[in-house]
């Protein structure tokens, strides 16, 4: 398996533009997580899905952020409009169902480095 | 919700020394404590974990200890090597929504000088 795949790896955009980050989880994993990493706030959980259904979005900072998971192999995180303070590395992670022996290890993607000018 | 404090934020040691990173958590319902290592420019990866029914776990040069009463847990790295240089994240997880959802600490940047 190729692991969790994220695209793009780097994104530079201007304030006010829409940004869409993409994630493909590991096949067979039924949990998907979106994180934001900054020096100031560390690794923050934004939202997570189970079987494509959003379970907890309490970490989403504002209404400008939205996430979808239309099927088991694809998720998006959208920021509209983007602001300079959204600059961060965004990680997607997936984890297998309970009982598979891996006790919810989170497998992270390579991240998307977002810069909003 | 859960709150995880991690210290120190930066740790500098000489090769061969030991390194200790400490974390505290607030919610006694947390019962799974993974540690992730993130090398520069790379993704976080699980290196070791401990469950609440265990007080200590070792894997070669790394070990984790857990004190449920005091709500703190620690990562110990012995005989440090330059390749141990990375950011280490602790997490406290509790069961919710059908899985164990982690709350991460802010991270510790470990620098091992050759």
Question: Which tens digits make up the pLDDT trace of B75-93?
Answer: 999 999 999 999 999 999 9
Distance from CA of residue A85 to its chain's centroid? 17
Q: Is the pLDDT of residue A16 over 70?
A: yes
What number is the average pLDDT over the span A48-60?
A: 93
A vs B: CB pairs below 8 A: 55
The shortest C-alpha distance from B72 to chain A (Å) reads 19
The shortest C-alpha distance from A38 to chain B (Å) reads 10
Q: Which long-range contacts (CB under 8 A, 24 or more apart) does B48-52 make?
A: B48/B75, B49/A103, B49/A105, B51/A103
Count the alpha carbons within 13 Å of B69 in the hemisphere toward its beta carbon. 1
Q: Which residue is associated with the tokens 């790295």?
A: B77
User: Which candidate from B32, B34, B104 shows the least CB-CB separation from A43?
Assistant: B104
pLDDT for the residue numbered B69: 93
Is A38's Cβ below 8 Å from some Cβ in B?
A: no
More confident residue, B95 or A95: A95
What number is the average pLDDT over the span B17-28?
A: 97
Name the pLDDT band for A103 (thresholds 50, 70, 90). low
Distances (CA, A) of B54 to B6, B66, B74: 20, 7, 13
The Cα angle at residue A75 between residues B86 and B32, in degrees rounded to 5: 50
More confident residue, A29 or B97: A29
Q: Is A69 exposed, middle or buried (0-12, 13-18, 19+ CB in 10 A)?
A: buried
Name the pLDDT band for A105 (thresholds 50, 70, 90). confident
Q: Is the pLDDT of residue B39 over 70?
A: yes
Distances (CA, A) of B50 to A2, A105, B1, B59: 27, 12, 21, 11
Q: Which two tokens stand for residue B18?
A: 């030991």
CA-nearest residue to B109 within chain A is: A39
Q: Which two tokens stand for residue A66?
A: 């939205």
What number is the average pLDDT over the span B18-41?
A: 95
């Amino acid at each position: 398996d190729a692991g969790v795949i994220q695209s793009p790896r780097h994104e530079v955009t201007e304030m006010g533009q829409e940004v869409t980050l993409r994630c493909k989880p590991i096949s067979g994993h039924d949990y998907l997580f979106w994180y934001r990493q900054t020096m100031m706030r560390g690794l923050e959980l934004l939202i997570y899905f189970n079987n494509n259904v959003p379970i907890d979005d309490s970490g989403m900072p504002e209404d400008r952020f939205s996430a979808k998971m239309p099927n088991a192999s694809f998720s998006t995180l959208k920021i509209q409009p983007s602001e300079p303070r959204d600059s961060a590395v965004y990680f997607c992670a997936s984890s297998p169902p309970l009982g598979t022996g891996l006790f919810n290890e989170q497998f992270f993607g390579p991240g998307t480095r977002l810069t909003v000018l | 919700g859960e709150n995880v404090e991690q210290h120190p934020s930066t740790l500098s040691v000489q090769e061969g020394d030991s390194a200790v990173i400490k974390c505290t958590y607030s919610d006694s319902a947390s019962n799974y404590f993974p540690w992730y290592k993130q090398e520069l420019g790379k993704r976080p990866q699980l290196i070791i974990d401990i469950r609440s029914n265990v007080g200590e776990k070792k894997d070669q040069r790394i070990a984790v200890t857990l004190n449920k009463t005091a709500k703190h847990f620690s990562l110990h790295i012995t005989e440090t090597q330059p390749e141990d240089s990375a950011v280490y994240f602790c997490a406290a997880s509790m069961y919710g929504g059908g899985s164990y959802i982690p709350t991460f600490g802010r991270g510790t940047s470990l620098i091992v000088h050759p």
